[in-house]
Structure 1
Amino acid sequence: MKKGFLKGMGFMGHATTLMALHKNNVSCSFARQARLDCFRIFSKAVGIKIGSDANVKYAWYGDSLDELMEIVSFGFSGCKNHDDGHESHGVGICLFSANSSIDSFIHNAMSTVVDEHGLRHVLLCKVILGNVEVVPVGSIQSQFNSNQYDTSVNDISDMRRHIIWTSFMNSHIYPNYILSFKYNYMKDPHIYGALKPQLLFPNLVARVSNHLKPSQMCMLVKSYRVYQVAVRTLPP
């Protein structure tokens, strides 16, 4: 899990440290065990409905540690849209695919809330996707358009965002692990002088992440990726 997370952080992985990993312990609570049983029952039901497996995948959900602890302990309490209106793909619980591109992965991770210790926190969940329906950007759709669908997605060919309708948020999402990480500002080249100049950009991303909208963060990261490609193709 650590290797997968750091790989997803891409060019920011050099200064990202996994500080803690906590597994959802179902044995400590009857309610937690009941939610796990519910998830398994719905997995079987969706599989029977679509005539194959339930299409269960891993996905990330980011928020403050307090919010994530509430979700693990009591489940999701409602829709909390982290995106502005132009980035939403329907009204529901939005999770980011664990197999999403580096741009999307960084956008998700660095858009989370920094606590008093400088840590950010993400929740790794198992998600029942079933048959997915594409929902366009800016949609205010809050349920599937047809009973043949179970969840929605931003794009079939590039499934970065999974939207679980609120009526299924505690049956189709199972919170598995809380991962806490830190981006180490002390690896700033201005202090140590050991890193290459192009690694200054990750520090910029970390510093402005709390002041930009998610869509602006995503555009910033994408622009840097374009710059990296352009630099590599320049003649010597």
Structure 2
Amino acid sequence: MAQATEACSPPRANSLDLTPPPPPSPPLSPPASPLSNPLVNSSSDHKDACSRDPFIVHNGHKFNLSAVPSRVMFYRNMYWEDFQGETLESLRSGFLKRTPTLLLEVEDDKYIFDFTRMLQVHVASKSFRSIAWIDERGKPFFPVKFFDHDFSQEKMEEDHGRAAEKENKKMEEDDDDKSDKRNEKMEVCDVSGSKTQSLGPKPKFPSTKLLASDDKMYKFASNLFLKHMTKVDPQAVVTNVHEFKVMGEFGRVRKDVLERQIEITEAKRGKANVVYAWYAAPTFHVAGILALGFDLPDHKNSGIQLPSLGAGIFLADVESPQYSALQYPVHQDPEKHVVLCRVVLGNVEKVHIESNQTSPSREEFDTGSDDPKNPNWYVVWGHDMNRRITPICVVSCKTTGIVPVEWKIFFCEIAILPKLISEIKKRIPIFNVPALNYIYEMFKCKMVSGDVFIRQFRSIVGDRVIWETAKAIMRS
């Protein structure tokens, strides 16, 4: 699967030359003509080009210092994830041959893996993201700067965009045809000879059906919402209900993915633990959820106040709809929209909402809650949110019961952070110090938010080192 250029073998001695052939090049020497990187302009003076290439300047020495990797990782959505299977073996094989650049085909797309620049480059689009590795001696090698890109998401969004556009165009054409036929049939003459016309309003959200008040789903969702919301706001009313409809290939895939996740969770945990939950969001976010699935909220100005809230989808328990707006401020909207969801929880652990947790704390857990035995809310972490959550319907309502949560800043965390960083630098490999310095300076200059800083901080250092160092500081 891998195609890579390697150093040429030394020429054979001719029959009259009794001098033995020169010894082979040392194993750490890079090849003379590495595979060209599409991100870097070619130059006749290779040495001069390398001296100007910031990727090589900062990361190039790590390739020569490293043994063969036991793990190779890529940086996607603020997380370091592992390459698996055949891709990992091809990367290990290329590293063993000291080939600095490899051309690999992964899932029908071609990528250049550049160990000296610590980049994975998508050949067609020239998009790139950072790679890192841990060698067989246990030494980690991370780039100085992290570059984040989701190739699969980019491709999926393009496919979904084309599919959604095609589906919407088809739906509009079908709606026009049906509307014309309905208009013809629904023109009924009364006794006086005048004509009356009865046409229902169009749905407000994509991939939905606007339900009549006597519809079974309308009654179910409305009663379920008001039963618990009126305990907080007796004046709450439901204005309408939109039922989510599975439409097109993308809709069928979403449904199949959830059913498959139920089977996987049952096999792994013994039970899937499927529940109903509420999720409130502004109108355009609700439309995005129905059209393309859940996406993590972007809290750019959250500082360190919302570390966990940017790492997953927070949903209210079915009996606590007042907690449905944990991630979006909808309390000022005159009409609020709350999505009733079906959620595959699996094993649930206790999570403090103001903590720094951004993923399950241990392998045996899948999701989190404020109180697993008596929950007000759940969190489904970002890496599998669209495998574990599917919308059922949207309940539109007028209520003052859905209110924002007052968040507290842990000033002790701010106070010890400089000392924590200073102490951690003494405990981690020297290769990781530049990356830590870089993200810390970005955070201090307010160029990255607190949740982004925490994710990268944990990726570089590791939770164990952070907690051990913090405990040592607190004891001193």
Same fold flag (TM > 0.5) = yes
Query: Cα offset for 1:145?
Result: 2.0
What amino acid does structure 2 have at the position aligned with 1:75? Answer: G
Find the counterpart in structure 2 of residue 176 from structure 1: 392
Counterpart contact for 1:90–1:140, Cα < 8 Å = no
Match for residue 214 of structure 1 among 405, 408, 417: 405
Find the counterpart in structure 1 of residue 347 from structure 2: 131
Query: Cα offset for 1:18?
Result: 0.9
Counterpart contact for 1:22–1:178, Cα < 8 Å = yes
Q: Tell which deviates more after alignment, 9-18 or 166-175.
A: 9-18
Is the counterpart of residue 167 in structure 1 residue 386 in structure 2? no
Match for residue 38 of structure 1 among 243, 251, 257: 257
Aligned to 1:143, what secondary structure does the other structure show?
Answer: coil
Query: Cα offset for 1:124?
Result: 0.6
| Residues 62-101 of structure 1 aligned to structure 2 (within 5 Å) | 62-79=280-297, 85=305, 91-100=311-320
Find the counterpart in structure 2 of residue 61 from structure 1: 279
How far apart, CA to CA, are the structure 2 residues paired with 1:156 and 1:12? 22
Match for residue 240 of structure 2 among 11, 15, 20: 20
How far apart, CA to CA, are the structure 1 residues paired with 2:295 and 2:350? 25
Q: 1:215 to 1:107 in 2, by over 3 A?
A: farther
How far apart, CA to CA, are the structure 1 residues paired with 2:361 and 2:325? 31
Is the counterpart of residue 146 in structure 1 residue 366 in structure 2? no
Q: 1:86 to 1:25 in 2, by over 3 A?
A: closer
What amino acid does structure 1 have at the position aligned with 2:240? Answer: A
Higher RCO structure, 1 or 2 (CA under 8 Å, sep 6+): 1
| Residues 94-113 of structure 1 aligned to structure 2 (within 5 Å) | 94-100=314-320, 105-108=321-324, 112=330
Larger radius of gyration: 2
What amino acid does structure 2 have at the position aligned with 1:171? Answer: R
Note the residue ranges of structure 1 that are not aligned, 5 or more in a row. Answer: 184-201, 217-236
What amino acid does structure 1 have at the position aligned with 2:230? Answer: G
What CA RMSD, in Å, does the superposition of the two structures yield over aligned residues?
Answer: 2.7
Find the counterpart in structure 2 of residue 194 from structure 1: none
Counterpart contact for 2:277–2:343, Cα < 8 Å = yes
How far apart, CA to CA, are the structure 1 residues paired with 2:331 and 2:286? 11
Query: Cα offset for 1:65?
Result: 1.5
Q: 1:113 to 1:75 in 2, by over 3 A?
A: farther
Match for residue 3 of structure 1 among 218, 223, 226: 223
Query: Cα offset for 1:46?
Result: 0.3
How many residues are aligned here?
Answer: 182
- Post-superposition Cα deviations, 1:199-234, rounded to whole Å, max 9, x if no partner, equal xxx6xx68xx5xxx4228xxxxxxxxxxxxxxxxxx
How far apart, CA to CA, are the structure 2 residues paired with 1:88 and 1:129? 17
Query: Cα offset for 1:159?
Result: 1.1
Q: Quick one: percent identity of the two aligned structures?
A: 28
Query: Cα offset for 1:156?
Result: 2.2
Counterpart contact for 1:127–1:172, Cα < 8 Å = yes
Find the counterpart in structure 2 of residue 49 from structure 1: 268
Name the TM-score, length of structure 1 as normaliser: 0.68
Aligned to 1:43, what secondary structure does the other structure show?
Answer: helix
Aligned to 1:69, what secondary structure does the other structure show?
Answer: helix
How far apart, CA to CA, are the structure 2 residues paired with 1:25 and 1:3? 20
Find the counterpart in structure 2 of residue 234 from structure 1: none
Note the residue ranges of structure 2 that are not aligned, 5 or more in a row. Answer: 1-220, 408-476
